Structure 1
Amino acid sequence: MSNFKFFFIVLLWIIGFSGMNGQNGEETLFSVANTPVKVSEFLTVFQKNYNNKKSTPQTKKDVEDYLKLYVNFKLKLQDAYDKGLDKDPAFLKEYSAHKNQLIKPYLRDEETEKALIDEAYQRMQEEVKASHILIRLPKYPKPQDTLKAYNTILELKSRINKGEDFNSIARAHSQDPSAKNNGGHLGYFSAFKMVYPFENAAYNTPTGQVSNPVRTQFGYHLLKIEDRRPSRGEVEVAHIMLRGDYDKNKPVIEDLKRRIDEGADFFELAKSYSHDKGSSGKGGRLPKFGAGRMIEDFENVAFSLNQIGDVSEPFKTKYGWHIVKLLKKYPLGSLDELRADILKKINKDNRGNQTGHKIVERLLRTYKFQPNSNLLSAFAQSGWETNSDLKSDETILIINDKKYPVKDFYNFYRAQINMGHTDAFNKYKALRSLDYYKEMLPETDQSLKDMLDVYEHGILIYMQMQNNVWQKAQKDSLGLKKYYNAHRDLYTMPKSATLIIVNYKGDDKLILEQLKVAAKTEDFTPLIKNPQVTSVRDQRVNQERSGLPKELRLKVGAYAIAQDNSFKEIYFVNDVEASQQVPLSKIRGKVLADYQKVLENDWMNELKQKYPVTINQAVLNTLTSKFKD
C-alpha cells in the first residue's frame, strides 16, 4: 500500500469516520438510502474528532458542520457498496493484508512464546563451535529422494562411529561446497545464526560428540560439536585491509601500523589505503558483529582487543592483510533488555511457527469437525487426481457451522507436493480451522472489529476518491485548463518590491541621501563604510507584507523611517514589480487541488440525488441544544 493511502486511512480514523453502529431502539439522527444512523454513532465519531483536535468546547455550529461531513462520508460508502467495490479483487487483497496484520497478536500462544524466548536467551549466553556434513534434498523432494538422502547420512554416521575422521568424511562427501576446503568447519555461532533445527542439534549435542541426522530445508546434516565458550557479546571495529600478494603488501601494512603508532588518523588512512570498498569510505568502520558473522581469524583478533581505541598488529586472513581498531564492545544484555528483540527474531525465524501450531492444536481439540467420509472415499477411489466425477458444490468438511466445498479441498490438494492423502486432508483441516478462527475473531472482539471497519471503510473511500476525484482531475487536462482560465484572478502574484533596509545611528537626511545615491549607482560600499551605519540588507516583499512600517508605499523611491530601540531603520523601495498572472505550468498543483474540490462537490451533489438523505430535525435540535451557541 502506498504511503499516501496509508495516511488517508489513518486520517479517517483520527477524524472519527469509523464509529460503531448505534444500538437498536436508539433514535435515528439521519438516514442515507433508508439506512439509519443512530445518535450514538454520530456522537461517538464527533467526540472522537474533537478529542483528537484537543479543541475548545464544541458549539452547535461544530455539530452541524460535522454532520455535513459525516453525511458525505456515508454517501460515499453507500455508493461504494452499491458498486460492489467491497468485492473488487484489489480491495480484497489489500483488506486481507491489513486483517492478517491486525489478527497476528491473536495467533500468539503466550506460554510457547515465553518458552522460546527463555530458550533463545539461554543459548545466546553460549557460543558453540561445530563442523557439519550436508546431504542435500531438492526443494520439493519425493519420498525416494528423502529415503536416499537419509540412508546416505546414516551410512556416513556409521563410518564416523567406527572411527573415521569427521572432517575427512566432510571433505569427501559433504554437499556443502565449502566443505572441500574447510572440512565442514563452521566456527563458533550462537542462537539465531543457524536455522532452528540445526541450532537445536548444536545446543543439544554434547561437546565432542556427533549428532543424529538432522533435517532442515537444505537436507540432512550431521554435526560434530567441537567446543563451547561463554558469549563474547558483540564488538564494533574499524579495519584497514590490503588485498593481493602477501609478501608485496607486508611492508605497506607495517608502514601503516607505524604511522598509526606515531599518531596518524586511523580513519583517514583507511579511507586512503584500505581495499575494502564497503567500509573504506566510512573510515574502515564495520557494523557491530558477534560470533559467526566474520571469519574466525578476524573475529579472534577483534575480540582480543580490550581497551576502546586499541589497534591490533597487522595480521593475515584469506582475504589479505588487516589492521583492526576497537571502537566499542557490547556485552550480552539482560533478558529484559533483549526480550523485544528476541521476540522479533523468533517471529522471523521458523521457530515462531510453534506458537501457531499450539493455537491449531487447541482449535482441533475444541472445534466440532464433520468430514464427509463418503466423499473422501470417492475422492480416494478416483486416484485423488481428478474431481470430474465429484460435484464441486458438495461439502467435504464442516467446522462448527461453516461448510467447505470439495472444490476447495481439491484445489488445496493439487498444490501439495508429494504429500499422502491422509496427511493432505489433516493439513487442510488444520489450515481451515485456523481460517475459521480468524474469520470468527471480529465477532468476539469488538475492538478488532472496529479496527477492521476502519480499514474496510478507509480503503473503500480511498478507491472512491481515486476513481471519482483524484484520477479524474489528473486525466482531465482540458477541464483543468478550463477551470484555471475561469478563475485566473485566484492565481496571480501580488505586487512586490525590493527594499533596501539600513540600520543606523545619526542624521536621517544624510543617511537617506547616501542611500539614494547608492541605489542609483548600485554601489553601496560608501554607505556600508559609513561609521554611523550598522547594517545594510535587501528584502523582497509583497502587498501582503507584515512587520513593515504601515506608511510605506510600494513605489520606487518611497521610504519610511522606523525607530528600533536606540537605532533607526530606513526602508527604501528600490524596485517594484507589478501584479502578474502565474502560468498554469508553475502552479498546477494548487489549481489541481482546487479543481478536485469542484469535482468532489459535483460528485456529492450527484450522490445526494441518487441516495435520499433524511435528517430528523427534531432529534438534531435536541442534540444541538446540549451545546452552546
Structure 2
Amino acid sequence: MKLKKVLLGISLCVSALSFAQQTKKEVLFTVNENPYYTDEFVRVYNKNLDLVKDDSQKDLDNYLNLFIGYKLKVNRAYELGLQDNKKYQLELKNYRQQLSKNYHLDKEVTDELVEEAYNRLQKEVKAAHILFLLDENASPADTLRVYNKAIEVRAKALAGEDFGKLAQQYSEDKSAKENNGELGYFSAFRMVYPFETGAFTTPKGEVSKPVRSRFGYHIIKVEDVRENRGDITVAHIMLIKSKDTSDEDNAKLKNRIEEIYQKLKQGEDFGELAKQFSQDGYSASKGGLLEKFSSGSLSSEEFENRAFALKKSGDYTEPFETEYGWHIVKLVKKHQLQSFEEVKEDLEGRVAKDDRSSVIAEAMTEKLKKKYPMDTDKKMYSKVLTAVNDSYYTASWKLPESADSFNKTLLTINNDEEIKAWDFLEYINKEQKGGVKAKPLNRLVPILYEKFCNEKLNEYYDKNLENEFPEFAGVMQEYKDGLLLFDLMEKEIWDKAKQDTIGLKNYYNAHLNEYRWGKRVDAEVISSTDKKIIEKARKLLKKGKDIASVKEELNTNGKINVIERSGVFAQDDEMLPVLDKWETGISDVVNKGDYYYVINVNKVLPAATKSLDECRGRVVNDYQQYLESTWIDTLKKEFTVKVNNDVFEKVKKQLNR
C-alpha cells in the first residue's frame, strides 16, 4: 500500500486541480478527438510549479509532453475498461470515506478535545475500578437502580473498606477476581473516554462518583499520578528466536548473548558489537540504534520497562529475554515530551479514532440540524409505530408482508431528500439483531427514529460534499485518476515484467554485466581487542584446531576473549578487515579499528555473473523501469494526438509574464 501511495503522489503531481487561476478555455490538444483544454493545463501547471524539483519539468514544452503523456495513460485506462473494475470502485469509495471524515468534524469541539488530550498526556494515572454493568439504552428505572448500587459501594469505600476487596465482591469486570480491579498506570487514549475523564478528574487517593461509560457505571480509585515518562532512544543487540525455537537452540542464544555481554563489560564498543552480532537487520548496521519510542509504543512491555529503567546515557542492561528473542539495551537519550504544536496533528488523528469522536459527531449533527431542516410526516410515523411489536426484543419481529403502504415519505431533509417509511422499518429490523433494546416500545421507537434521522442527515450532508466544497470535488477527481493510473501501471508494467518470462530473460541477457557477484570468500573470522589473544588464536588454527577448540582454550575464567563469525562474505564487506591478498588458508593478524582479526579462508570465490534466479528481483525491477520508459512512445503510436500550436503559444505567453 505504501508503494501505491508513492505512485499516486507522482500521478497527482500532473493531475491535481487548482482553482487559483482562471484562463480562457480553448482546446489545447486532442487524443483520438477527445479535447483537453487550456484552463486545466494552466491550473495544473501553476499548482505544481513549486513541487517539481527537475527544472526541465518547469519548461512549458517539456511540461506539455508530460501532460499529454498523462492524458494518454488515462485514455488507455478507459480503453481497457479499468474504471469498471470492482476493486477500483471499492478503493475509490474507501478513499472518499477517509477524505470526507475531515468534513464531518466540528473544529471547535475537536480543538478542545485535542488540547485536553495533550494536557492529560503529560501525566500517567494509576487506578483501580469497580464496574456495574448497564446497557447503554437501559430504562430510567434500571439506570437509577444500578447508579444507586454504585453509590452504595462507593460509600463503603469512602468509609474505609478495602477497595480491592470491594472490587472482588461487587465488580462485574471478570478480571477483578484476580487483580482486585487494578488497572496499573495509563495515560490518555488508553481507556474509554468517559472512564479516562473520571480517572483524570479524580484527585489522587480519592474515589470518584459513579462514571457512566458504554459498559455501565464505574467507581474509580486513583492510587497515584506520575509524570509521563516521555520518549526514549536506545540501541540494542538482539538475537532472534521464534515460536519454533527449541529449548536447546534457545540455550545457545542465551550463551551467545552472555558472551557478547561479557565483551561489553570488558570495555568493547556497543555499536561495533551490534554491527557484528545483532540479528536485527534494521538496526544492526546502525550500531543497534532504534528510533525513539514512548510507553506503549512497542509490542513488548518488558523491553520498554528495561529501557526506561536505565538512568544515564551509555548505561546498558544485562541480557534479558522477551518473546522475540534475547536483548541487551543501551540508553542513548531520554527525550522530554513534545510541545503541543509538535504533536497536534497526531493528536487530531487519534481523537478522530477514539471515543472522543462520538462527542465530535454529536456536535456536528447538531450543526447539521440547523443547516438542513428535517420534517417528519406524523401519520406515517404513527403507522410505523403500530407495525412494531414486542417480538423485537427477542429478535423475531418481521417486516410487514407488504411494503406498498409504507412506501411513502416519512422524512424530508432540506426540502429535497425524501426518505420512505419502509427505509425506517428496515432500519428497525437490523437494530433488533443487536442494537437498541430500550423498553417499552413507545420509548424504543423514538430512540431508534432519532438515530435513524441523525444517520440520514449525515448521509445527506456526505452525498453533497462535492457541491458544498469545490476543493473536495477537486481532490476526489485527482484521486479517481490516480487510482486509475495505478491499476493501469499494474496491468501494463508491473505484472507484465513479472509474467513476461521471455522479455525478462532477453533483458537480463542484454545487461549481464550489471548483475555480477564481486569477489567473495568462504571463511571463519575470529576477532578480539587483544592482539596477543588473536596471535594465540592464529597459532592454534595453524595447528589444525577448529573454531570450537580455539574458543574453549582462549575464553577462560568467564572472560570472552575471542568471538567468531563464519559464512560467505564479500571481500569488500565493511565488517571485514582489508587483506592485501585473499587466498585459502590462515591469514596474518590484521587490524581494523579497535579489533584484531585472523581469518581462516576455506575457499576464494571469484567474481562471476549472477544467474537469473540469483538476481531475479533486481532484474524484474529494472525491466519494469525499462518498460515504463518506452511506454509513452508506444501509446503515442496507438492514439492520435493533435496539438493546437497557436493556442499553446498564447498559453506560454500568458504563463511567462
How does the TM-score come out when normalised to structure 1? 0.60
Alignment check: 8 A CA contact 1:493 1:582 kept: no
Task: Show the counterpart of 2:412.
Answer: 398
Task: Show the counterpart of 2:69.
Answer: 69
Task: Show the counterpart of 1:360.
Answer: 365
Equivalents in 1 of 2:580, 2:222: separation in Å? 79
Equivalent position SS for 1:15: helix
Task: Show the counterpart of 1:231.
Answer: 227
Distance 1:266 1:388, change over 3 A: farther
Residue 212 of structure 1 pairs with residue 226 of structure 2: no
Equivalents in 1 of 2:512, 2:269: separation in Å? 52
Distance 1:386 1:88, change over 3 A: farther
Residue 97 of structure 1 pairs with residue 115 of structure 2: no
2:402 maps to which of 370, 389, 395: 389
Equivalents in 1 of 2:94, 2:7: separation in Å? 17
Alignment check: 8 A CA contact 1:12 1:18 kept: no
Further displaced range: 442-451 or 462-471: 462-471
What amino acid is aligned across from residue 42 of structure 1 in structure 2? Answer: F
Larger radius of gyration: 1
Output aligned runs, 1:221-260, within 5 Å: 221-226=218-223, 229=225, 231=227, 233-234=229-230
Distance 1:75 1:178, change over 3 A: closer
Task: Show the counterpart of 1:450.
Answer: 474
Alignment check: 8 A CA contact 2:15 2:481 kept: no
1:619 maps to which of 647, 652, 655: 647
2:484 maps to which of 449, 456, 460: 460
Task: Show the counterpart of 1:425.
Answer: 449
Equivalent position SS for 2:219: strand
Q: What CA RMSD, in Å, does the superposition of the two structures yield over aligned residues?
A: 5.7
What amino acid is aligned across from residue 184 of structure 1 in structure 2? Answer: G
Equivalents in 2 of 1:495, 1:173: separation in Å? 73
Alignment check: 8 A CA contact 2:17 2:40 kept: no
Residue 180 of structure 1 pairs with residue 177 of structure 2: yes
Equivalent position SS for 1:133: strand
What amino acid is aligned across from residue 45 of structure 1 in structure 2? Answer: V
Task: Show the counterpart of 1:247.
Answer: none
Task: Show the counterpart of 1:437.
Answer: 461
Alignment check: 8 A CA contact 1:130 1:187 kept: yes
What amino acid is aligned across from residue 28 of structure 1 in structure 2? Answer: V
1:376 maps to which of 375, 381, 395: 381
Give the total of aligned pairs: 491
- The superposition leaves residues 471-503 of structure 1 with CA deviations (integer Å, 9 ceiling, x where unpaired) of 46655x4xx63x689x88992658999xxxxxx
- The superposition leaves residues 431-489 of structure 1 with CA deviations (integer Å, 9 ceiling, x where unpaired) of 232233333333343333222211011112333444456546655x4xx63x689x889
What amino acid is aligned across from residue 402 of structure 1 in structure 2? Answer: E
Task: Show the counterpart of 1:107.
Answer: 104
Distance 1:287 1:19, change over 3 A: closer
What amino acid is aligned across from residue 75 of structure 2 in structure 1? Answer: L
Equivalents in 1 of 2:119, 2:21: separation in Å? 52
Deviation at 1:44, TM superposition (A): 3.1
Equivalents in 2 of 1:495, 1:201: separation in Å? 65
Q: Which stretches in structure 2 are left out of the alignment for 5+ residues? A: 237-257, 274-279, 318-328, 389-396, 437-443, 517-578, 583-607
Residue 8 of structure 1 pairs with residue 21 of structure 2: no
Distance 1:616 1:343, change over 3 A: closer
Output aligned runs, 1:476-495, within 5 Å: 477=500, 481=502, 491=510
Task: Show the counterpart of 1:320.
Answer: none
Alignment check: 8 A CA contact 2:412 2:418 kept: yes
Equivalents in 2 of 1:494, 1:127: separation in Å? 60
Equivalents in 1 of 2:636, 2:621: separation in Å? 22
Equivalents in 2 of 1:20, 1:402: separation in Å? 30
How does the TM-score come out when normalised to structure 2? 0.58
Q: Which stretches in structure 1 are left out of the alignment for 5+ residues? A: 240-255, 272-277, 313-323, 498-534, 539-576
Deviation at 1:369, TM superposition (A): 1.6
Equivalents in 1 of 2:228, 2:60: separation in Å? 67
Output aligned runs, 1:262-301, within 5 Å: 289=295
Task: Show the counterpart of 2:117.
Answer: 120
Output aligned runs, 1:591-606, within 5 Å: none
Equivalent position SS for 1:112: helix
Further displaced range: 154-163 or 218-227: 154-163
Alignment check: 8 A CA contact 1:484 1:584 kept: no
